[in-house]
Structure 1
Amino acid sequence: MRNKNNRLIIIITKVGEWIFNLFILHFLFFLYSFRGLFLFGIFPSFAAQVVVLNKWLRKSEDSFNMYHCYRNSWHKYFSLSNKLGYTFLLVYIFLVFDLRINEQFINSIAIHYILLLLIVLTTFIVFFSFITMIRGQYGYFDTVKQSFYISLSVPIYTVATSVGLLLMFELLTTFIFLAVFFGIPMMLLPIVWFTTEGIDKAISRKELQKN
């Protein structure tokens, strides 16, 4: 009985720690986004979120100072994350604009599906870009290139990321209080989890091919 009670206490403590840490992580996102005047702070904040979540999920460090890790990651990836983030944003704007132009003036089914395919491929690259940047310590072009290769080489994990993100979005829109207090890290959790697993799978395949 005592062992069961101890296990229950440990589980409750762990759950409480996760809830508290997710709340703090959510708060830090807005704090550091504001620090970068939002325009230059949002994408570094996303990168910092990914770093912290990656450490938690991989248990690469038993204990670390979340605030210091977040702050250091925000500064470390400030330039590269903004370059990647605004590149993807401009690509999305360009593709959606072309989609609207096609619908209103050209009305070509072939162009419509090509643009949709490009939007999907861009989304797959976005899924893997931040974790690839962090795990591989790549520069701008190598991050984009590797994210594209990995997203296509492990399609199961790419699809799982998409499904996980949609399910999490449905959860947060159903329970609004979760979105208000924990929304950002919860939305990123399935992305970080499945893309990390996908990268590990891609690396193991590459090592097997070498051997």
Structure 2
Amino acid sequence: MKAFLRKNGFVLSGGLIQGAGMGIFLFPHSIPSGGAGGLAVLLHYWFSISMGLALWIVNFSMLLIAIRYLGNRCTLWTMLAVSITSLAVVVLQQCVSLPLNHVWIDLPLGSLFLGTGVGLLMRQGVSNGGVGVLALIISTSRNSLPGKPLFWINSCIFLLTAFIIRWDILFLALLSQWISTKMVDVIYRLDMWSISSTFWRRKS
């Protein structure tokens, strides 16, 4: 039960932090948060379906892959993480208004939040949804850090999206992914249990 509650806390925290990075800092500047957003834009462009439905299709497809390669438990945790992230984006966009709205301030801050949230999820063996599933599968099979495959998968999708639709946000999207995936690896390396144990010992 203790392990379950601890994992649940990390998953909830990861989803909320990821959602904050998207909803408060990145989405107001139309900066894609990852490959799933880029694929959703392409589906909307090609088939004229709504962005919400397109994003759901992408995430659902990735969850089907997760069931096969990562198991039912990982898929259920991923569904929770995706739901928390989506809810956080909706609530924070409505409730939080930053006094400064400058892309060169919001982009690094949003990317750091995004990478922290994704890193917390992947430390628990939980995907952040979308193409994060593929990155988690690759990192698990190779016993490597997930940041690098996540960066390259997302970069390829950004390039495809920019080539088909427009190029103006490509640089911002790639820079955001570079920062966030570096942060993913930083969080992935941390010994969270030792940090939390040290904190509680000092507090007591």
Shared fold per TM-score greater than 0.5: no
Q: Which has the higher contact order (CA 8 A, sep 6+)?
A: 2
Normalising to structure 1: TM-score of the pair? 0.32
Larger radius of gyration: 1
